[in-house]
Amino acid sequence: METINKSVYYKLKELKDNAGTHSPSINTILENIPEIDLRIDACYLSNPYATDLFISHFDSDLVKSNKLREVLEFYPSQNNNISYKLGDFLDIDHENIFIGNGAVEIIQAVIHNFSKRIIVNIPTFSSYYEFAKPDQEVIFYQLDKNDNYRLDIEDYIQFVKEKKPDTVVIINPNNPDGSYLTSEEMEVLVKELKDVKNLIIDESFIHFAYEEDSLQMIKAVDFFRENKNVIVIKSMSKDFGIAGIRAGYAIMPLEKRNYLLENGFLWNSNGLAEYFFQLYVNKNFQLEYDEVRRRYIRDTQKFYQDLLVLPGIKVYPTKANFVLIELLNGMSSFEFVSKLLIEYGIYVRTCDDKIGLEGQFLRIGSRTFEENEQIVSSLQSILTI
Amino acid sequence: METINKSVYYKLKELKDNAGTHSPSINTILENIPEIDLRIDACYLSNPYATDLFISHFDSDLVKSNKLREVLEFYPSQNNNISYKLGDFLDIDHENIFIGNGAVEIIQAVIHNFSKRIIVNIPTFSSYYEFAKPDQEVIFYQLDKNDNYRLDIEDYIQFVKEKKPDTVVIINPNNPDGSYLTSEEMEVLVKELKDVKNLIIDESFIHFAYEEDSLQMIKAVDFFRENKNVIVIKSMSKDFGIAGIRAGYAIMPLEKRNYLLENGFLWNSNGLAEYFFQLYVNKNFQLEYDEVRRRYIRDTQKFYQDLLVLPGIKVYPTKANFVLIELLNGMSSFEFVSKLLIEYGIYVRTCDDKIGLEGQFLRIGSRTFEENEQIVSSLQSILTI
């Protein structure tokens, strides 16, 4: 390492040591170490082509037509009014739809209001256990590393029946490993778990999954229709590339949705989120979106194939828009992530803070075709030294 | 009334009857009755000059400089990071600052998490009692109509000491009447109520209040510094004219703030709210803002004086950016509001749904100088028929 790089490495190390169990965010890093030249942020898990699409609509619908003022000045519609518009599009009664200030607000609302004893599969998205209050019990179900963290449905069902939780959470595809349960497997799971009060199906990454070569979009709405315990949670941040807007929704039983609305959440959307939802339910927009969705999946498939052949790492199978990588070359994940950031300007996520992951892991988001190529060649340089 | 107007009136009546105790929103009205020509929305309680100022910055900082993409694509900073930036500006430890997705989210969080028995002065902003869950007790303190709904401090303190709530709420200036407690009065109140666990001071309209001809801005931060039970809640929607963005903050004791952050609310800001807070703490922006704030107060003073001389109404004293008006001419407030909307294109708020208001009341927001003049002359036409 050159001198400049060494000093930057120690600064990074200091930031990380001060950040506790979490990794410092890229903004914190850039503010504290301005000499870092960030070129690709592959921590972010979103479709960049969908962001392009959204921005082109935003430009023509709001900026160029001077309607931006309305969106910024006035109160957005209430939760119930926005869900009304989504209902038609999703073919679900709007009284089963709850609009969230990002999916994470919905996770918080559901756990705080409906759960006492919750089973969470690890590794996972940490909010599902971090938001539990002191009087709420979290039971971890460890996914099997030897089976690539894939959920063993039979074993899981038995575990649930033993532990008798009121809430279980299935993230599909799962974060951070990308493992995917097919619609058929989900059907078995939902049927067997019909006595659990709340069956949360988090579909934040479902638009990146596919079961056929045609890349047809997968949807879980039908599980909801037939099972009164299902709560589908859907982030819009990942598939539409608009994390800054904070938009998500859930499909849930009427009495739960109404309980939440009677206790708050009336004005939890912002003007841009409301504008986004108007776009979302527009058929022409959906056609345009489906094109950038398929393009992104194909790029991600290529990215995955390119990573597979690199030496010194294990690449876990994924149907999400990111890849879980285990380092087998003796480097720690922090060391690897630092090298990649300092020498190549590429930021990826260490998985140091993920409970349930044994080993040195990174999670790398798929970006544009060109960026993915840069990521692969940078990884190659580090791994083949 | 002409035929067209009569038919529109009946449509409005039907909408209102279907909306229950609440009034239909202007969006619902316009969607259902497109023949209405809305010219001025004086339901909104915000400074339109501040919206102009914000939009000019938004244009140059984000749209013209192509930084908009960052704001839309990426996750905003976490609550703690945004509060860090506010802390310096407010000269308050950032660990006492909680960022909200609008003030209303903070009201919900505080009531749900810290209150069992809450005293709410009526008339008031309905969220303070509507968000209470079944196991939370709300005790109403009726403000005296004969004293223009002004809080009688002595009587109130006695009431609180008798009822022994864990939470009291003071909105200053109060909504919907605009009555104002001076800093001196607030000091007495805060001192006498030091044993109440949570003393919520809602300052959503404080930037429109003044005690001197110089229109110096009033702030309650000092009450917080000296009293460990004070929770200051501040909406940004009204004074900065950006309700669509959803930005608010609270100043509260460290242990309450940390309890909330440990149980959610980590990513509750959106990219535009974070951008707004960056502007908010900028000294040059504050200088520009103070100019439009003073200009708006002067326009509102003129508006109030013009309303005072109209016949058939009582105009309540206000230090907010709205005026509570009682109809004394025999018209119902719904009839009056409908006439104003249908014949003059001006929408104002009926106060039919406000508990604690006896009589026929309207609340009219102050808009631009020219719009206020139109409102006054339209009211005059209706009232002098």
Which residue matches tokens 């580090």? A382
Strand arrangement, sheet containing A313-315? A313-315, A322-327, A361-365, A349-350
Q: pLDDT tens digits for B70-79?
A: 999 988 999 9
How many whole angstroms separate alpha carbon A13 and alpha carbon A8?
9
Is the four-CA dihedral A55, A57, A60, A66 of positive or negative sign? negative
Q: How far is CA B117 from CA A95, B120, B156, B295, B361, in A?
A: 31, 10, 16, 41, 29
Q: What is the pLDDT of residue B208?
A: 97
Contact between B123 and B149 (Cβ < 8 Å): yes
B101, closest residue in chain A (CA to CA): A268
Cβ-based contacts of B108 with chain A (< 8 Å): 263-265
In the three-class reduction of DSSP (H, G, I as helix; E, B as strand; rest coil), residue B75 is classed as coil
Is the four-CA dihedral B47, B51, B54, B56 of positive or negative sign? negative
Q: pLDDT tens digits for B132-167?
A: 988 999 999 999 999 999 999 999 999 999 999 999
Q: What is the pLDDT of residue B315?
A: 98
A68, closest residue in chain B (CA to CA): B55
Q: What is the pLDDT of residue A2?
A: 54
* Minimal Cβ distance to B264: which of A58, A72, A108: A108
pLDDT tops 60 at residue A180: yes
Q: Given an 8 Å threshold on Cβ–Cβ distance, is B244 in contact with A131? A: no
Q: Strands A117-122 and A137-142, how do they pair?
A: parallel
Q: Given an 8 Å threshold on Cβ–Cβ distance, is B264 in contact with A112? A: yes
Q: What is the pLDDT of residue B344?
A: 96
Q: pLDDT tens digits for B8-29?
A: 989 988 888 877 656 677 778 8
Q: What is the pLDDT of residue B2?
A: 54
Cβ-based contacts of B51 with chain A (< 8 Å): 69, 72-73
Distance from CA of B12 to the nearest CA of A (A): 18
Q: Sort A91 into a burial class: Cβ within 10 Å, 0-12 / 13-18 / 19+.
A: exposed
Alpha helices in A206-321 (DSSP H): 221-226, 237-240, 254-262, 271-280, 283-308
Candidate from A96-110, A291-305, B1-15, B28-42 with smallest mean pLDDT: B1-15
* Dihedral pair phi/psi, residue A92, rounded to 5°: -135, 140
ipTM over 0.90: yes
Distance from CA of B282 to the nearest CA of A (A): 18
Contact between B143 and B173 (Cβ < 8 Å): no
Residue A3's contacts (CB-CB under 8 Å, 6 or more residues apart) are none
Distance from CA of B311 to the nearest CA of A (A): 32
Q: Given an 8 Å threshold on Cβ–Cβ distance, is B246 in contact with A264? A: no
Q: What is the pLDDT of residue B28?
A: 80
Q: What is the pLDDT of residue B250?
A: 97
Cβ-based contacts of A131 with chain B (< 8 Å): 263-264
Distance from CA of A95 to the nearest CA of B (A): 16
Mean pLDDT of chain A: 93
Contact between B343 and B12 (Cβ < 8 Å): no
Q: Given an 8 Å threshold on Cβ–Cβ distance, is B244 in contact with A272? A: yes
User: What's the pLDDT band for A29 if we cut at 50, 70, 90?
Assistant: confident
pLDDT tops 90 at residue A168: yes
How many whole angstroms separate alpha carbon B70 and alpha carbon A255?
38
pTM of the model: 0.94
Mutation target vs A (from B267, B321, B368; most A CBs, 10 A cutoff)? B267
Q: What is the pLDDT of residue B15?
A: 86
Q: In the predicted model, what is the mean pLDDT of residues A351-355?
A: 88
In the three-class reduction of DSSP (H, G, I as helix; E, B as strand; rest coil), residue A232 is classed as strand
pLDDT tops 80 at residue B242: yes
Cβ-based contacts of A241 with chain B (< 8 Å): 73
pLDDT tops 80 at residue B385: no
Q: In the predicted model, what is the mean pLDDT of residues B309-314?
A: 97
Distance from CA of B74 to the nearest CA of A (A): 5
Q: pLDDT tens digits for A121-158?
A: 999 988 899 889 889 999 999 999 999 999 999 999 99
pLDDT tops 80 at residue A19: no
Q: What is the pLDDT of residue A4?
A: 57
Contact between B366 and B323 (Cβ < 8 Å): yes
Q: In the predicted model, what is the mean pLDDT of residues A170-195?
A: 95
Q: Given an 8 Å threshold on Cβ–Cβ distance, is B73 in contact with A264? A: no
pLDDT tops 70 at residue A11: yes
Q: What is the pLDDT of residue A246?
A: 96
Q: Which residue has the higher pLDDT, A17 or B38?
A: B38
Contact between A261 and A244 (Cβ < 8 Å): no
Cβ-based contacts of A74 with chain B (< 8 Å): 41, 44, 243-244
Q: What is the pLDDT of residue B220?
A: 67
pLDDT tops 70 at residue A1: no
Q: What is the pLDDT of residue A226?
A: 81
Mean pLDDT of chain B: 93
Q: What is the pLDDT of residue B4?
A: 57
User: What's the pLDDT band for B244 if we cut at 50, 70, 90?
Assistant: very high
Q: pLDDT tens digits for B329-371?
A: 999 999 999 999 999 999 999 998 889 999 999 999 999 999 9
Q: What is the pLDDT of residue B297?
A: 98
Distance from CA of A190 to the nearest CA of B (A): 28
Q: In the predicted model, what is the mean pLDDT of residues B170-189?
A: 95
